[in-house]
């Protein structure tokens, strides 16, 4: 191997100087000449019939070029969805509005201020209809979200295992039998996993231009899925996908909310072609809250039955999952990701029934973790409640019910999914046998001895990510809905340029993950070319082979592996060229110190410059060798990857006010091999912050009429560094066997592992008072109320 | 969001500023702009004219005149928080206002004039018995803090008046401010906050003022608690008894951060904590 291995080493992020200095290019920074601007007229009601739209005053307002309604764009059809159940979203409201903030008309003007002013002049008359916001009420079908749908329950996912009716019946029978036994313990809790706003710091933004000469759209968008967007635009306008060029430049946070196709992205293209001008739309923070997809929103009952000594005999989760009014990209598929990990890293029979329920609210879709944090939350909360009930150490109960390491490979989980690799007991032991964990427990006991309310929570998790495999396409997961029927493959192209600099082109792009650095490390490790000579191109559909996008913690495992394979091909060709130049055997060539040399004779060497020069001067090549020095690889993994880990934290609760403080937070994560420990740590930090955010602060609150009461960062409280302790991270390493890098993915793990850790700790703190559960977010008012209720009940 | 179109002027003197305010249909005064600009961007407030007082000299100082402290209209939260002459209650309140950026731009007078129901510094100036000095077309008007806060986001200032100065009487004693913030601890707007000022003589509480924020429709005095603590020995029991009366006569309002029951309870806790700290300072 190379002598300059940089895999597994801390390499400072190449992209940071530009991002920190404000010289990175974001979509709203794109200033095309003669650009015109968009403002939307939005519904103030959650459900109403539109009886009149008068656009005349707006059309005559200063600077206005056009005002569009559904009549102008109905022929373009609704937005496509991967799981086309429920109601697809029309590009603009079509006769009826179904959530507050739904776009009714689109104003295009010379300046943004003129567009916003003119939008105020559009008159819309509404005939209000009854709205349904509450999930249970919606599930009862008393009020229909859409008249033409049979039920508000647009899809039900059932597992135990998934897709196996006989197995489901068997699992249900086993659980019923265990409950019926006289010597078992059954615990059951109804819990909310509240709705969240993804809140990328960069709001969504898109600018589109139609080039009539080339018959091509040029689109810049803050998206996680540029190829899918190109496909969607092409399909909508009846063009080939190569007639649409989409660039996703720097993307300032995605978390899944930019893993979608939005009506505004199609509408700016429509207006650009109609008006012959570049058209730009950048959402405001309020529009981001109301109109970009939201996440979570489950209410469910978890029930667990086990023996008095901690052997779990069965687990059930029945939940209602809020879909919002319209189905978009993955909407109804998100709970399915919860089914994937529904039995966690455990071996007990598991039954799940997840109802996807439409409501008169904004669409929900992927938000960091997407279905998996919800599922793991219910599982890890109910295991904790069970351990508490039987008076056992929650770590011990988990340990007792894990799938043993020796069962790998070949594990199929109780909900029916093949898992790659795992050693859950080793991971949890690394947490609970650490000095830090012992200190946590000791500190809790010390605080308690002073009469204070302190608690330690632990939780373990497994997640599924790194999608592929290719077979997911048979379940409907591909970009077929956007006319690009590609599986969730990875893609990587490595090109050594004539000056021996390297260009790497990949199918995914960063929204903060550090692709510039990680991919440079992968390629540098293979070729021995320094990282600062390697540049990574991403997010550009004109340059990049078909790419799927950055989501589901998949980039490194899938596109990273593709790039690794491409780099190996380049290395093999370079070895052949070096052998030719050095008059040596190909198998004797080694790489290092900026070139190649003959094994055992390091002075017999050629530089990368010499190799590259030959590659681009074909007359100097050996016979039968093609010119150029580049390779492309498509990688489809044999399976998704299954990272896992254990979290613990110490909290103190102010009994008088209900105020919760997190004093320490520990994790032991296992994401397989690590390419850059600093980037992995950063991902875990951000993930925990968002999980703690859900546990403590964040909630998209709707009133009964469907108004979002938390549309600004004044009301929607995001965690900041001030609110969080320093995280103490450790890891175990259990490489994946489904990709050549042995990596698993770490983008969502922190979020999936953390919310229930905090809630478990707070319940532990309040357990002396008899509190069994507090719903998130653990705002002081709610914790205080739980304390009062427990005291009242005593 | 973009504000509606408006005119902007940055006069060089208070006279000019007051005249511009009087001439406009709907004008607003801007100092740090930390409250005004967000409201304008949301189009909740659409003035025709913004009068920026930021270039007027002589308003950026905290002065000790001997019988009172004067906090000028351009004194930033950061200046108030880091002053060694400002009483503890107001210093503490300023240090917990907004975040670092807001504290570097926003002004104490601006926060007080804005009269947000959950802001920190209004409660402190109320407890300290400050006097608001307003400059209008007919000259200078002194408004006692007890009369200054009228309703949510509404002060006693006339549309053509500028709050140029807050005068805090130097009456000794001790003061404190405590709150529970919306994100827990002392961070963010107050779910409930209380400021207290007390004087102690020969072991007895001789005078006291207590003010609440975040609880009702405006920053207001907790008069029952004030009366209850004066004349006592300021013992733990006396403080507890007084704080139990924190919201007597005050209409407690529910919001996203607390029910009436919770806020009523929190008000008592915060009054107790603020009184306890103020007494400790008064006795030291």
- What band does A510 get if pLDDT is binned at 50, 70 and 90? very high
At residue A477, the pLDDT reads 87
Boundaries of every domain in chain A: 16-23+489-635, 32-129+202-252+258-291, 131-196+293-392, 402-410+418-477+641-794
The answer to whether residues A187 and A308 touch, using CB atoms and an 8 Å cutoff, is no
Q: Is A214 helix (H, G, I), strand (E, B) or coil?
A: coil
Nearest to A284 among B1, B5, B187 (CB): B1
Q: In this structure, what DSSP letter does residue A146 have? A: S
Question: What's the length of chain A?
Answer: 794
Percent helix, percent strand, percent coil in chain B, to nearest 5: 35, 30, 40
Mind listing the pLDDT tens digit for each residue in B131-185?
A: 999 999 999 999 999 999 999 999 999 999 999 999 999 999 999 999 999 999 9
Q: Is 60 exceeded by the pLDDT of residue A475?
A: yes
Nearest-Cα distance to chain B for A113, in Å, is 6
Tell me if B26 sits within 8 A of B47, measured CB to CB: yes
- What DSSP assignment string belongs to A581-617? HHT--GGGEEEETTEEEETTEEEEEEEHHHHHHHHT-
Helix (H, G, I), strand (E, B) or coil at A148: coil
Q: How far apart are CA A428 and CA A424, in angstroms?
A: 6
Q: Is A655 on the interface with B (CB under 8 A)?
A: no
The pLDDT, as a whole number, for residue A6 is 65
Q: Is A782 on the interface with B (CB under 8 A)?
A: no
Q: How far is CA A163 from the centre of its chain?
A: 25
B52 and chain A: CB distance < 8 Å anywhere?
A: no
Furthest CA-CA distance within chain A: 91
Q: Is the peptide bond before B216 cis (omega within 30 degrees of 0)?
A: no
Place of tokens 């890098």: A741
Q: What Å distances lie between residue B144 and A376, B115, B125, B155, CA to CA?
A: 57, 15, 10, 12
Distance CA B233, CA B283 (A): 11
| A710 interfacial to chain B (CB closer than 8 Å) | yes
What tens digit of pLDDT does each residue of A461-470 get? 999 999 989 9
Q: Is the pLDDT of residue A713 over 90?
A: yes
Count CB neighbours of A741 within 10 A: 21
Non-local CB neighbours of A32 within 8 Å, separated by 6+ positions? A207, A209, A278, A280
Within 10 angstroms of residue A475's Cβ, the number of other Cβ atoms is 12
- Predicted confidence (pLDDT) per residue in A521-572, tens digit: 999 999 999 999 999 999 999 999 899 999 999 999 999 999 999 999 999 9
Q: Hey, where are the domains in chain B?
A: 7-53, 62-169, 174-283
Mean pLDDT of chain A: 96
Q: What is the pLDDT of residues A755-790, one digit of tens each?
A: 999 999 999 999 999 999 999 999 999 999 999 999
Question: Can you give the C-alpha Rg of chain A in angstroms?
Answer: 28
- What distance in Å separates residue B5's CA from the closest CA in chain A? 8
Q: pLDDT tens, B95-107?
A: 999 999 999 999 9
CATH of B62-169, one of 3.30.2140.20, 3.40.50.150, 3.30.70.100, 3.30.465.10: 3.30.465.10
For residues B33, B34, B35, B39, the Cα torsion angle rounded to the nearest 10 degrees is 80
Distances (CA, A) of A224 to A78, A198, A258: 21, 14, 5
pLDDT, position A5? 52
Taking one residue from A and the other from B, the number of pairs with CB-CB distance under 8 angstroms is: 55
| pLDDT single digits (tens) B19-58 | 999 999 999 999 999 999 999 999 999 999 999 999 999 9
The residue in chain B having the minimum alpha-carbon distance to the alpha carbon of residue A288 is B1
CB proximity B6 to A under 8 Å: no
List the one residue out of A319, A359, A351 whose CA is nearest residue A335.
A319
A92-124 in b/e burial notation, b at 16+ Cβ within 10 A? bbbebbbbbbbbbbbbbbbebbbbbbbbebbeb
Strand partners, A148: none
Tell me if A635 sits within 8 A of A562, measured CB to CB.
yes
Tokens found for residue A307? 């023996």
3-state secondary structure A353-364: EEEEEECCCCCE
Of A116, A286, A780, the CB nearest to B191: A780
- B210 strand-pairing partners: B196
The pair of structure tokens assigned to A375 is 């599922």
pLDDT of residue A2: 36
A455, containing H or E segment: strand A453-462
Architecture of domain A131-196+293-392: 2-Layer Sandwich (3.30)
Pick the CATH number of A16-23+489-635 from 3.40.640.10, 3.30.365.10, 3.50.30.30, 3.60.140.10: 3.30.365.10
The model's pTM is: 0.96
CA distance linking residue A714 with residue A711, whole number of Å: 8
Q: Are B16 and B49 in contact (CB under 8 A)?
A: no
The CATH number, out of the four listed (3.40.50.150, 3.40.50.300, 2.60.40.420, 3.30.390.50), of the domain defined by the range B174-283: 3.30.390.50
Chain A environment of B184 (Cβ under 8 Å): 659-661, 696, 723, 780
pLDDT confidence tier of residue A793, bands split at 50, 70 and 90: low
- The yes-or-no verdict on residue A1 having pLDDT over 80 is no
Window 67-126 of B, Cβ < 8 Å to A: none
Percent above pLDDT 70 for chain B = 100
CB contact under 8 A, B182 and A717: yes
Distance from C-alpha of A83 to C-alpha of A329, rounded to nearest angstrom: 7
CATH topology of domain A32-129+202-252+258-291: Aldehyde Oxidoreductase; domain 3 (3.90.1170)
Task: Read off the pLDDT band of A199 (50, 70, 90).
Answer: very high
A56 has which bridge partners?
none
B257 inside 8 A of chain A by CB:
yes
Give B220's strand partners: B212
Position A4 confidence tier, pLDDT thresholds 50, 70, 90? very low
Domains A131-196+293-392 and A402-410+418-477+641-794 share a fold: yes
A697–B183 CB contact, under 8 Å: yes
CATH classification for the domain delimited by B7-53, as one of 3.30.43.10, 3.40.50.970, 3.90.1150.180, 3.40.50.720: 3.30.43.10
CA A681 to chain centre: 17
* Residue A507: predicted pLDDT: 86
Pick from A666, A654, A655, A645: nearest CA to A734? A645
- A784/B187 touch (CB, cutoff 8 Å), yes or no: no
According to DSSP, the residues that pair with A68 across neighbouring strands are A106
Question: What CA–CA distance (Å, rounded) separates A250 from A231?
Answer: 21
Q: How far apart are CA A770 and CA A563, in angstroms?
A: 55
Question: What is the 3-state secondary structure of A48-115?
Answer: EEEEEEECHHHHCCCCEEEEECHHHHHHHCCCCCCCCCCCECCCCCCCEECCCCCEEEEEEECCHHHH
Distance CA A223, CA A293 (A): 13
pLDDT per residue over A435-459, tens digit each?
999 999 999 999 999 999 999 999 9
Q: Domain A402-410+418-477+641-794 adopts which CATH fold? A: Aldehyde Oxidoreductase; domain 4 (3.30.365)
Q: What are the backbone dihedrals phi and psi of residue A373, each rounded to the nearest 5 degrees, phi first?
A: -60, -35
Tell me which chain A residues have a C-beta less than 8 angstroms from the C-beta of B259: 781, 785
- Specify the pLDDT at position A29: 97
């Amino acid at each position: 191997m190379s002598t300059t291995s940089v895999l597994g080493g801390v390499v400072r992020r190449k992209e940071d100087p530009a991002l920190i200095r404000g010289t990175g290019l974001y979509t709203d920074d794109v200033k095309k000449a003669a650009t015109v601007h968009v403002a939307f007229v939005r519904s103030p009601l959650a459900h109403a019939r539109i009886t009149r739209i008068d656009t005349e005053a707006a059309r005559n307002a200063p600077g206005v070029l056009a005002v569009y309604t559904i009549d102008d764009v109905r022929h373009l059809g609704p937005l496509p969805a991967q799981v086309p159940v429920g109601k697809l979203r029309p590009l603009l409201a079509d006769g009826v509005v179904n959530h507050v903030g739904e776009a009714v008309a689109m104003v295009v003007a010379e300046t943004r201020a003129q567009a916003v002013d003119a939008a105020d002049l559009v008159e819309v008359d509404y005939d209000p209809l009854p709205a349904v916001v509450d999930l249970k009420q919606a599930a009862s079908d008393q009020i229909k979200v859409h008249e033409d749908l049979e039920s508000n329950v647009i899809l039900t996912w059932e597992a135990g295992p998934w897709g196996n009716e006989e197995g489901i019946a068997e699992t249900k029978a086993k659980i019923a039998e265990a409950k019926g036994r006289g010597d078992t313990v059954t615990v059951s809790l109804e819990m909310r996993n509240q709705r969240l706003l993804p809140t990328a710091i960069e709001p969504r933004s898109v600018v589109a231009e139609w080039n009539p000469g080339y018959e091509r759209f040029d689109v810049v968008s803050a998206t996680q899925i540029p190829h899918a967007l190109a496909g969607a635009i092409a399909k909508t306008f009846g063009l080939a996908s190569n007639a649409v060029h989409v660039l996703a430049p720097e993307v300032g946070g995605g978390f899944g909310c930019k893993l979608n196709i939005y009506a505004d992205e199609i509408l700016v293209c429509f207006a650009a072609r109609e008006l012959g001008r570049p058209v730009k739309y950048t959402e405001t923070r309020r529009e981001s809250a109301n109109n970009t997809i939201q996440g979570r929103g489950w209410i469910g009952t978890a029930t667990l039955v086990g023996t008095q000594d901690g052997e779990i005999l069965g687990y059930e989760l029945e939940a209602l999952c809020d879909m919002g009014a319209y189905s978009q990209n993955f909407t109804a598929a998100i709970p399915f990701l919860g089914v994937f990990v529904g039995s966690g890293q455990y071996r007990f029979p598991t039954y799940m029934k997840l109802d996807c329920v439409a409501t008169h609210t904004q669409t929900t879709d992927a938000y960091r973790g997407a279905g998996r944090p919800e599922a793991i939350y219910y599982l890890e909360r109910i295991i904790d409640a069970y351990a508490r009930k039987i008076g056992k150490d929650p770590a011990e109960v988990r340990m007792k019910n894990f799938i043993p390491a020796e069962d790998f490979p070949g594990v199929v989980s109780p909900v029916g999914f093949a898992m790659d690799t795992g050693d859950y007991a080793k991971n949890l032991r690394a947490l609970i046998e650490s000095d830090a964990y012992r200190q946590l427990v000791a500190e809790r006991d010390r605080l308690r001895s002073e009469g204070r309310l302190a608690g330690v929570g632990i939780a373990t998790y497994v997640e599924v990510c790194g999608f592929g495999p290719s077979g997911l396409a048979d379940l409907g997961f591909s970009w077929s809905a956007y006319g690009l029927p590609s599986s969730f493959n990875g893609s990587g192209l490595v090109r050594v340029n004539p000056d021996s600099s390297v260009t790497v082109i990949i199918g995914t792009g960063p929204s903060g993950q550090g692709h510039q650095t990680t991919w440079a490390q992968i390629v540098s490790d293979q070729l021995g070319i320094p990282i600062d000579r390697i540049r990574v191109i991403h997010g550009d559909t004109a340059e990049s082979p078909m790419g799927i996008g950055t989501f589901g913690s998949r980039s490194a495992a899938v596109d990273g592996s593709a790039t690794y394979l491409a780099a190996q091909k380049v290395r093999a060709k370079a070895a052949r060229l070096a052998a030719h130049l050095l008059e040596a055997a190909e198998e004797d060539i080694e790489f290092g110190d900026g070139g190649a040399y003959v094994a055992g004779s390091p002075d017999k060497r050629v530089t990368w410059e010499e190799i590259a020069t030959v590659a681009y001067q074909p007359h100097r090549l050996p016979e039968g060798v093609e010119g150029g020095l580049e390779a492309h690889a498509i990688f489809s993994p044999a399976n998704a990857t299954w990272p896992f880990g254990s979290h613990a934290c110490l909290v103190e609760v102010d009994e008088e006010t209900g105020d919760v403080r997190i004093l320490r937070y520990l994790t032991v994560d296992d994401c397989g091999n690590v390419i850059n420990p600093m980037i992995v740590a950063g991902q875990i930090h951000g993930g925990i912050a968002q999980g703690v955010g859900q546990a403590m602060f964040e909630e998209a609150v709707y009133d009964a009429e469907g108004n979002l009461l938390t549309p600004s960062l004044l009301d929607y409280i995001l965690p900041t560094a001030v609110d969080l302790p320093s995280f103490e991270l450790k890891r175990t390493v259990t490489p994946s066997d489904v990709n050549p890098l042995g990596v698993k993915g770490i983008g969502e793990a922190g979020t999936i592992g953390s919310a229930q850790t905090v809630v478990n700790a707070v319940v532990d703190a309040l357990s002396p008072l008899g509190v069994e559960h507090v719903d998130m977010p653990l705002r002081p008012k709610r914790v205080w109320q739980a304390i009062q209720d427990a005291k009242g009940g005593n | 969001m973009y504000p509606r179109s408006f005119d902007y002027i940055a006069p060089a003197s208070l006279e000019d500023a007051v005249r511009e305010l009087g001439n406009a249909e709907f004008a607003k005064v801007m100092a740090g702009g930390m409250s005004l600009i967000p409201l304008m961007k949301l189009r909740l407030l659409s003035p025709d004219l913004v009068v920026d007082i930021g270039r007027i000299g002589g308003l950026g100082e905290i002065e000790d005149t001997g019988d009172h402290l004067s906090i000028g209209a351009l004194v930033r939260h950061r200046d108030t928080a880091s002053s060694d002459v400002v009483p503890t209650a107001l210093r503490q309140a300023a240090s917990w206002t907004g975040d670092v950026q807001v504290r570097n731009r926003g002004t104490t007078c601006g926060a007080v004039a804005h009269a947000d129901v959950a802001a920190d510094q209004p409660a402190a100036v109320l407890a300290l018995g400050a006097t608001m000095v307003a400059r209008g077309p007919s000259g200078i008007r002194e408004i006692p803090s007890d009369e200054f806060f009228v309703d949510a986001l509404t002060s006693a200032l006339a549309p053509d008046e500028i709050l140029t100065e807050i005068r805090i009487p130097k009456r000794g004693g001790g003061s404190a401010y405590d709150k529970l913030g919306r994100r827990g601890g002392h961070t963010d707007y107050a779910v409930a906050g209380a400021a207290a000022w007390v004087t102690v003589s020969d072991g007895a509480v001789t005078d006291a003022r207590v003010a609440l924020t975040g609880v009702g429709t405006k920053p207001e005095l907790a008069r029952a608690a004030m009366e209850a603590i004066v004349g006592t020995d300021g013992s733990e029991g006396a403080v507890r008894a007084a704080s139990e009366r924190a919201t007597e006569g005050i209409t407690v309002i529910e919001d996203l951060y607390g029910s009436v029951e919770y806020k009523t309870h929190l008000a008592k806790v915060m009054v107790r904590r603020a009184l306890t700290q103020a007494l400790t300072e008064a006795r030291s």
